[in-house]
Structure 1
Amino acid sequence: MSNFELSNSKNYVNEQVTPMDNHLAGEFWVKFWGVRGLIPTPNSHTCRYGSNTACVEIYVAGQHLIFDGGTGLRILGKMWQQQQKSLEAHLFFTNSQSNRIQGFPFFAPAFIASNCFHIYGTAASNGASIKQCLCDQMLQPHFPYPLQVMESDLNFYNLTPGNAVELGEVKITMAIINKNQKSIGYRVTWGEHSIAYATDLHKSLDIEEQKQILHIIQGADLLVTNATYTPPTGKNHEYAELFWKTPVDLAQTADVKRLVISHHHPDDNDTFLDKIQDQVKSAFPNVLLACEGMLLSVENS
């Protein structure tokens, strides 16, 4: 049975990142470098949970996997640079919206020739590949340097939901979890253990979407997902239960062992998120709200 433990790291990531020995957390762990949805929100009221947009690192069986490249990817890159050694990693994108890709132009290790990155994604709603989406955001007037100035070895892969990527002993399966946004969710499996990353849930799921989501989260040791929000212009904290009902229902149905809710709304400050976490625990005790710097490890026992 899996046992998840919080590391001794700080509850948030700041500019003074410290290199971490991978083996201190075991052979299968997840670390949160960006936990905010939509747009970065740096201010004094978001410092505990964090203000960077989505970026999650998973280390498993010697493989470095990154899920989404929001602004948290820049901080991860700074930590990796301090290790002063060649890197090889796999970047998986859930969709091509700005909050998932905006950190990629600032990912410093991609500019170093000795590094190698494998980049995965599915077609955006307009049909553009993940490579095209990353290229477009680095063109003038959006960014001063094109993707071609990145000297690392960049390998792009177009994913087909329903198929799988195998990296040695690690298997990554995927499924469409939000048809409107063309968003995919992932399940990382190593032996008997698994982590699911499905971060584009919306409040009303049709039968096909629910089937796809349950397929990748069923029995997962850990599910990283989002709470479902009302539209930004109609946000009302009086209806906070709407923020977490869908992920809790899915986690209970799929017999998920631990739930982590991430992609917090820009308007949700630390105090409000503390209250939400207490409310969710009343329905699903083994839950955490993600904060930057949080490290969870899957230990065999």
Structure 2
Amino acid sequence: MSNFELSGSQSYLTEKSTTPLSNLSGEFLVQFWGVRGLIPTPGSNTSCYGGNTACVEMHVAGKRLIFDGGTGLRILGKTWQQQQPLEAHLFFTNSQSNRIQGFPFFAPAFIAENCFHIYGTAASNGASIKQCLCDQMLQPHFPYPLQVMQSELQFYNLTPDREVKLDDVTITVALINQTQRSVGYRITWQQYSVAYVTDLHQNADEVERERILQFIKGVDLLIANATYTPPTAHNHDSADLHWQTAVSVAHNANVQRLVISHHHPDDNDNFLDKVQVELEFVFPEALLAREGLMLTVGK
């Protein structure tokens, strides 16, 4: 039996109907705040799955963990406004705009009593995660520099194969996509584990593929990206391209449960509904991420 279950609340996210994970019972909880790849896609045809870019929150043994800071991070921050002071750990998979663009709008970072530990690897140009976050808040891109954030910000430069220990919670780092310099994270607590691996690509060589398989082997939950061709060549006739890579690695790594996120901006709700049906046929223990989806691991 899988160490994984859906929570009672599975409706898509709205700013008025959010529940902080720290207020819920359970020791290992996961919530999706942004599930879109590339750019935000608000609109009536994306309201079911959501249009915010990548952001996943985990509440593990009392620790607040955030993975990626797309526009979903702004919505998450609004739910924390009544929980001051707070401390959280924010892990970035890469420094592309869709992973960091929500950080300037993360309201808790402007409150002096709060503390945030921020982790990331060097970008393809060698810039640290701190430099990348600073640069996007400089004029003319943003009216206020990072220095106006009054919370305590502690930055950590990660390298692949490193482990971050937060008491009895271990976060392991692995290189997932050499071209994009993207990393993935495996979060382990007691006998439970979740892998956040969101830069899988279709043309990984044998060495890359084996490294990824070993990294995610046997996890209770794999959160992986949809894979698709570049935007100019995207079409809605290839649903299998959406899930094929993630399902393949999940099968080969004996993953118990799979959630596919980072949906293409052109993939509307109707198309994703069809993908969900096809996905369940090939991997019954799989589903597409929706904003607001909450999962319990290990209950």
Query: Do Structure 1 and Structure 2 share a fold, with TM-score over 0.5?
Result: yes
Large movers: runs of 4+ above 6 Å: none
1:13 maps to a residue whose letter is: L
Greater Cα shift, 115-124 or 276-285:
276-285
What is the Cα deviation at residue 262 of structure 1? 0.2
What is the Cα deviation at residue 230 of structure 1? 1.1
Greater Cα shift, 202-211 or 190-199:
202-211
Match of 2:65 in 1: 65
Question: What are the superposed Cα offsets for residues 221-245 of structure 1, whole Å, 9 maximum, x if unpaired?
Answer: 0000012101110112222212211
Determine the C-alpha separation between the residues in 2 that align with 1:49 and 1:139: 32
Give the SS at the match of 2:250: helix
Determine the C-alpha separation between the residues in 1 that align with 2:277 and 2:15: 29
Determine the C-alpha separation between the residues in 2 that align with 1:21 and 1:273: 26
Give the SS at the match of 1:237: coil
Match of 2:109 in 1: 110
Distance change >3 Å, CA 25–CA 273, structure 1 → 2: farther
Determine the C-alpha separation between the residues in 1 that align with 2:21 and 2:263: 28
Aligned length: 299
Correspondence 1:82-231 to 2 at 5 A: 82-83=82-83, 85-231=84-230
2:288 maps to a residue whose letter is: L
What is the Cα deviation at residue 5 of structure 1? 2.2
What is the Cα deviation at residue 263 of structure 1? 0.3
Cα contact 1:29–1:296 (8 A) shared by 2: yes
Correspondence 1:263-274 to 2 at 5 A: 263-274=262-273
Cα contact 1:176–1:182 (8 A) shared by 2: yes
Cα contact 1:25–1:297 (8 A) shared by 2: no
Question: What are the superposed Cα offsets for residues 104-123 of structure 1, whole Å, 9 maximum, x if unpaired?
Answer: 00000000000000000000
Question: What are the superposed Cα offsets for residues 73-127 of structure 1, whole Å, 9 maximum, x if unpaired?
Answer: 00000000033x2110000000000000000000000000000000000000000
Cα contact 2:110–2:148 (8 A) shared by 1: yes
Cα contact 2:21–2:29 (8 A) shared by 1: no
Question: What are the superposed Cα offsets for residues 112-151 of structure 1, whole Å, 9 maximum, x if unpaired?
Answer: 0000000000000000000000000000000000000000
Question: What are the superposed Cα offsets for residues 205-259 of structure 1, whole Å, 9 maximum, x if unpaired?
Answer: 1122212211221000000001210111011222221221111010000000000
Cα contact 2:192–2:298 (8 A) shared by 1: no
Q: Report percent identity of matched pairs.
A: 69
Aligned CA RMSD, in angstroms, stands at 1.2
Match of 1:284 in 2: 283
Cα contact 2:18–2:292 (8 A) shared by 1: no
Distance change >3 Å, CA 253–CA 117, structure 1 → 2: same
TM-score of the aligned structures, taking structure 1 as reference length: 0.97
Determine the C-alpha separation between the residues in 2 that align with 1:107 and 1:23: 20
Cα contact 1:137–1:143 (8 A) shared by 2: yes
Match of 1:52 in 2: 52
1:208 maps to a residue whose letter is: V
What is the Cα deviation at residue 285 of structure 1? 0.5
Within the alignment, does 1:41 sit opposite 2:41 as a pair?
Answer: yes
Cα contact 2:10–2:294 (8 A) shared by 1: no
Distance change >3 Å, CA 243–CA 10, structure 1 → 2: closer
Match of 1:251 in 2: 250
Greater Cα shift, 146-155 or 229-238:
229-238
1:45 maps to a residue whose letter is: N
Distance change >3 Å, CA 125–CA 21, structure 1 → 2: closer
TM-score of the aligned structures, taking structure 2 as reference length: 0.97
